[in-house]
């Protein structure tokens, strides 16, 4: 069950969804767009330095975000490229920022972060082995099997499949993710079970349920249904609370942060 952090009750503080608030020792959450200082399409808590936002505003936003994240002052990130490369992050490599769309760590104190607007942010934990993973899955990443690659990386880092929990964060929903029918056909062809999460759209178009497709991929990889949580709404429908490029008519928007790690 998801819960809103107490900080969301103030208009000026970043709000964060914490689906695992009942699990002790996990540093995690899905930020929305509230609580920052950026303007326009970046309003307000944009945490990307690469979308053309004011550097000073992004710096202030990160200061506010770090205060919410707590213990760790550094969040390890990747240069997201819509692929399926997953990196193992250690305290030593946490500042490297290589190309990729996912990270896992087995070191408490290392916090991993991914940025998204409509793409699916995926967090994974094994709270006993203290292994955490963060992944950024747009439609390309979903087609590339990022969720499964991430799961395999979790296991390589010492996680046990029976203990892994996954949270899929705010992302574009089946209500709004309309794509060319050809692309939807490709999902149905390349991902077993994906056809069930497609419905017809306007002529030549179809709607896809990305979170349901990622969930199907994880179930097929061996996770139990109760290990997977969907946190937060469709970003386009809830564009007041979350950045959504679709809601902005395709304009470059700010990006929200999803983060996970274990307390040192």
Q: Can residue 212 be called a binding residue for Zn ion (CB under 5 A)?
A: no
For Zn ion, the closer of residues 188 and 238 by Cβ is 238
Binding span for Zn ion by CB under 5 A among 176-184, 187-195, 205-213, 251-259? 176-184
175 is a site residue for Zn ion (CB under 5 A): yes
Decide whether 69 or 234 has the Cβ nearer to Zn ion.
234
Quote the CA–CA distance of 1 and 20 in Å, as a whole number. 8
Choose among 108, 191, 94, 207: nearest CA to 147: 191
Provide the token pair at 77. Answer: 């990130």
Cβ proximity to Zn ion: between 174 and 193 the closer is 174
Does 234 bind Zn ion (CB under 5 A)? Our answer is: yes
Is residue 176 close enough to count as binding Zn ion by CB under 5 A?
A: yes
**Shorter beta-carbon distance to Zn ion: residue 35 or 173:** 173
Closest separation in Å from C-beta 32 to Zn ion: 15
Residue 236 binds Zn ion (CB under 5 A): yes
Q: In what order do the strands lie in the sheet with 178-180?
A: 178-180, 205-208, 198-200
* Residue 237 in the binding site for Zn ion (CB under 5 A): yes
Q: How far is the CB of 232 from Zn ion (least distance, A)?
A: 12
Query: Closer CB to Zn ion, residue 152 or residue 238?
Result: 238
Answer for which of 173, 232, 254, 261 binds Zn ion (CB under 5 A) is: 173
Between 81 and 176, CB nearer to Zn ion:
176
What is the closest distance, in whole angstroms, from the C-beta atom of residue 239 to Zn ion in the complex? 9
Q: Verify binding: residue 170, Zn ion, rule CB under 5 A.
A: no
Q: What is the DSSP string of the chain?
A: ---B-GGGGSTTS--EE-TTTTSTTEEEEEE-STT----GGGTTT---SSSS--HHHHHHHHHHHHHHH-S-S-EE--B--SS--EEE--TTTTT---B-SEEEE-STT-EEEEEESSSEEEEEEETTTTEEEEEEE-HHHHHTTHHHHHHHHHHHTT--TTT-EEEE-SB--TTT-EEEHHHHHHHHHHSTTGGGGEEE-STTEEEE-HHHHHHHHHHHTT--GGGEEE-S-BTTTTTTTS--TTTTTT-----EEEEEEE--
Range in contact with Zn ion (rule: CB under 5 A) among 120-128, 163-171, 204-212, 226-234: 226-234
The footprint of Zn ion on this chain (CB under 5 A) covers a number of residues equal to 6
Q: Which residues have a Cβ under 8 Å from the Cβ of 205 and sit 6 or more positions away?
A: 178, 179, 180, 181
Residue 130 or 211 with smaller CB distance to Zn ion: 211
Q: How far is the CB of 253 from Zn ion (least distance, A)?
A: 16
**In the complex, minimum distance from the CB of residue 120 to Zn ion, in angstroms, rounded to a whole number:** 13
Using rule CB under 5 A, residue 196 touches Zn ion: no
Binding residues for Zn ion, rule: CB under 5 A, are 173, 175-176, 234, 236-237
């Amino acid at each position: 069950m998801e819960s809103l952090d107490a900080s969301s009750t103030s208009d000026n503080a970043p709000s964060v969804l914490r689906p695992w608030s009942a699990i002790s020792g996990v540093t995690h959450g899905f930020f929305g767009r509230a609580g920052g200082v950026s303007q326009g399409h970046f309003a307000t808590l944009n945490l990307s330095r690469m979308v053309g936002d004011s550097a000073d505003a992004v710096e202030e936003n990160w200061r506010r975000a770090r205060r919410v994240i707590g213990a760790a002052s550094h969040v390890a990130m990747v240069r997201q490229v819509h692929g399926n490369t997953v990196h193992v992050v250690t305290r030593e490599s946490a500042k490297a920022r290589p190309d990729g769309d996912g990270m896992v760590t087995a070191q408490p104190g290392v916090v991993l972060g991914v940025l998204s607007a409509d793409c699916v942010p995926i967090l994974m934990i094994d709270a006993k082995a203290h292994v955490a993973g963060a992944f950024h899955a747009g439609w390309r990443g979903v087609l590339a099997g990022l969720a499964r690659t991430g799961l395999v990386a979790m296991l390589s880092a010492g996680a046990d499949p029976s203990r892994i929990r996954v949270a899929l964060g705010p992302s574009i929903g089946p209500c709004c993710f309309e794509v060319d029918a050809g692309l939807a056909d490709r999902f149905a062809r390349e991902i077993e079970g994906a056809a069930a999460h497609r419905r017809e759209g306007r002529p030549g178009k179809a709607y896809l349920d990305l979170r349901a497709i990622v969930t199907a991929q994880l179930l097929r990889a061996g996770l139990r249904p109760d290990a997977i949580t969907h946190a937060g709404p469709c970003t386009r429908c809830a564009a007041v609370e979350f950045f959504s490029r679709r809601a902005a008519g395709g304009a470059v928007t700010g990006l929200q942060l999803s983060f996970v790690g274990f307390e040192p």
